[in-house]
Structure 1
């Protein structure tokens, strides 16, 4: 039953929604959205715990796997798809699954979310291993597709995280950890693509970004492991090299050209005055952590 779920309840603030002016609708949505970050913030410890587990599993060769139905599944796929261009991660390292398969990204697949065996089958299909972390995303906390997948993941020994926007949800019994930002009723009753969807996106941002920071994918607040695949990202790569080294634009271009466009390698080459291959070796020995590689390559002579 959905009647007891916070996400399905009627919001008193929007009971006369169809009678509001357009500006009043905008202001109401904005006012309701203002509490989302606070709800997510109340889950800070759970999110931090999840990040540490994900980072450990990624370091050991495991994967981060998101799965869900409808908006939840789409948000997971979106976050997974953003990791390779942002962090130069292997596309197989962060994976997104949606009930009903790829076509469900744009078209509703009726009944797909109601079958728990489909969640298990989708995880089996990608050869889920005990070293992986799965994040089952279900705003309601009761989606059979997600519960089926979480149950299978725990049986296999994978670490199971549930992400929901309802307290004391059904999926709690199938998880090692639950993240539950409770954002309250939607202004359009049951339309969880709104506040709940925004909260979900915020949590996913934290999980993937936090785990990649722990993997050495950043240097300060610079995304030094980005993959420059277009004009915008090529320009960003130059700016990052300039910011991390102090060189001018022409020197940044020259460094990147020497290093096959690898931002991290270019920065290590500059600071250690070593050849690109030697810089790559330093990075490998430092498990990709740029600051550590520079420290090792200069015997601590360069302070950053």
Structure 2
């Protein structure tokens, strides 16, 4: 096997930055910025595959499953952050596993990343099942821990996707959906994979945002699944109800207090004039989709 840098697209020398060490700081940063501008464009051809991923994830969540993100090193850390941002706390529909566990957030565990069998064991430990969907995060597509997790999902016919920088990898062969933003070689070969990781992060943002929309967590462009702060409504909940229902602060607080600080129910109460019990029932009959529930009755006023 060749050891030349150009064996991997992310480690090939970038002809556009070959003289970067000769540039002034300002010119150097301009070159880096120009390279970064290519990342979003690289994602555009992947949109059909990302759409399939979002729809598959939404289907998994609708049948009671989870979207499980797995990765090692920087990729795994991005997965952990994406899951935390989607629904803080345990028990949410988006779960992330990092090779080596939470302690690897600070120090990458190469031993864990290279352990094929451990990838499967870590999935087993969270009760991964065919109702769930797995997304492997691996720039190289060659991380054994991620392969092991993907093989475990494949063996039980669970849907699986990979977000990577290469189509030609072991990980890609185990996935139903392969998302490969071709951002090109890095600014500095061998200095990590910043462009590939930014592309991966942008795709993850699309996936989690798209899943939130498709799962009824969004009304208009407002996140309406906010949890209360302890036993009281939060300021963010009040602001969201005011914005979504176009009501006063007092009306928002009154509605939230009447429905045990359930944000979507409070919005529906203000929009429709229903009491808390009827609004909650209407929301349940529409599977938690506020847009559908609000369309079931004439708007108040």
Instruction: Output the TM-score relative to the length of structure 1.
Output: 0.91
Task: Answer yes or no: is the 8 Å Cα contact 2:186–2:193 preserved in 1.
Answer: no
Tell me the residue number matched to 1:274. Answer: 274
Task: Answer yes or no: is the 8 Å Cα contact 1:116–1:148 preserved in 2.
Answer: yes
Tell me the residue number matched to 1:214. Answer: 214
How do 1:30-179 residues align onto structure 2 when only pairs under 5 Å count? 30-85=33-88, 91-179=91-179
Tell me the residue number matched to 1:243. Answer: 243
- Equivalent-residue separation in structure 1 for 2:53 and 2:259 (angstroms): 35
SS at match of 1:34: helix
SS at match of 2:109: coil
Shift, 1:31, TM fit:
0.8
Gap runs ≥5 in structure 1: none
- Go from structure 1 to structure 2 and tell me whether the alpha carbon gap of 1:248 and 1:92 turns closer, same or farther (over 3 Å shift): closer
Tell me the residue number matched to 2:25. Answer: 22
Task: Answer yes or no: is the 8 Å Cα contact 2:138–2:146 preserved in 1.
Answer: yes
SS at match of 1:111: helix
State the Cα RMSD in Å: 2.0
The more displaced of 116-125 and 129-138 is 116-125
SS at match of 1:43: helix
- Equivalent-residue separation in structure 2 for 1:168 and 1:239 (angstroms): 48
Structure of higher RCO (CA pairs closer than 8 Å, 6+ residues apart):
1
- Equivalent-residue separation in structure 1 for 2:204 and 2:32 (angstroms): 22
The more displaced of 263-272 and 89-98 is 89-98
Shift, 1:157, TM fit:
1.6
Tell me the residue number matched to 1:255. Answer: 255
**Runs of 4+ residues deviating >4 angstroms:** none
- Equivalent-residue separation in structure 1 for 2:30 and 2:215 (angstroms): 40
The size of the alignment, in residue pairs, is 295
Gap runs ≥5 in structure 2: none
